[in-house]
Amino acid sequence: MEFQGKSALITGAASGMGLLCSRCYAAQGGSVAMVDINAEALGRCVEEINAQGGGKAVGIVCDVRDFKQVCETVQKTVAAFGRIDLLVNFAGGAATRIQKVPPELEFPEVPIEVYDWGLDVNLRAQLYFAHEVMKPMRAQKSGVIINIGSASGEAGSERDMDYAAAKSGAMYGLTRSLAIYGAKYGVRCCCVSPGPVLTRPDMVKIKTLMGRAADPQEVIDTVLFLASDQSSFTTGVNLFIDGGRLLRRW
């Protein structure tokens, strides 16, 4: 029960790794504010986690691109649990895929609104949540912020330039800056940057030195390790979980 008596705010919590992280955090005794824009799916996921036992879950519907909604979400989390010990910024994804842009369109033909969406969700939202969560963490003189990067933020992308740029910003500039500011208040910030993860079947096609994509649990285990007291002297780092993909050109 590593997180007994602690609370987390996890974005993108109604699906994928955000949901898995919420399940695992609650299973270890932590209370979790599950944040997502999909109200229907979020309600089902909150019910599921509360039924499993362990920590309590509450659902908060939020468009992470909207700073006012982000502020209200942080306020609701503090009202529910009295404190925020962990923020995990899982909300995100490649804009061209999520916005269903035809694959034959190259970078100059992709509507700029698609890239605006990607920059907002993958970088601006992580900054928004860190900005507001830092306030209660600073007051309680403790806390951990986990940003989510990507191997694409290191390698670049021929088409998803917004995604690569946003993730690179989260991995390096944002994470390191938050670590520098937060240190004097007992707040740590780290980043986890996956390569291919089996959240979608097509991830098996991406090559790695280890010959496979990651199981989502492998990513969550790293996130929760960084969030735990076992990592109490670790801050400002970015950890790649990519099976060695970045060690060579494919």
- Count CB atoms within 10 A of the CB of residue 123: 24
Alpha-carbon distance 230 to 202, whole Å?
Answer: 34
Average pLDDT score over the chain = 97
Domain regions of the chain by residue span = 7-195+221-241
Greatest Cα-to-Cα distance within the chain, rounded to the nearest angstrom:
51
Give yes or no for residue 250 having a pLDDT over 80: no
d(CA 36, CA 26): 17
- In CATH, the number for domain 7-195+221-241 is 3.40.50.720
**149, 155, 159, 165: CA torsion to nearest 10:** 50
Q: What is the DSSP letter of 215?
A: P
Per-residue pLDDT tens over the stretch 100-121: 999 999 999 999 999 999 999 9
Taking 3-state DSSP, the helix, strand and coil percentages for the chain, each rounded to the nearest 5, stand at 50, 15, 30
The structure tokens 């509360």 sit at: 50
The verdict on whether 163 is a catalytic residue reads yes
Query: How far is residue 63 from each of residues 19, 68, 87, 127, measured CA to CA in Å?
Result: 17, 9, 16, 14
State mean pLDDT over 228-241. 97
Question: Which residue in this structure is represented by tokens 């910003």?
Answer: 169
Which among 25, 115, 128, 163 is annotated as catalytic?
Answer: 163
Evaluate if residue 218 carries a pLDDT over 90: yes
**pLDDT, position 53:** 85
What confidence tens digit (pLDDT) does each residue in 67-77 have?
A: 999 999 999 99
| Residue pair 121/63 in contact by the 8 Å Cβ criterion | no
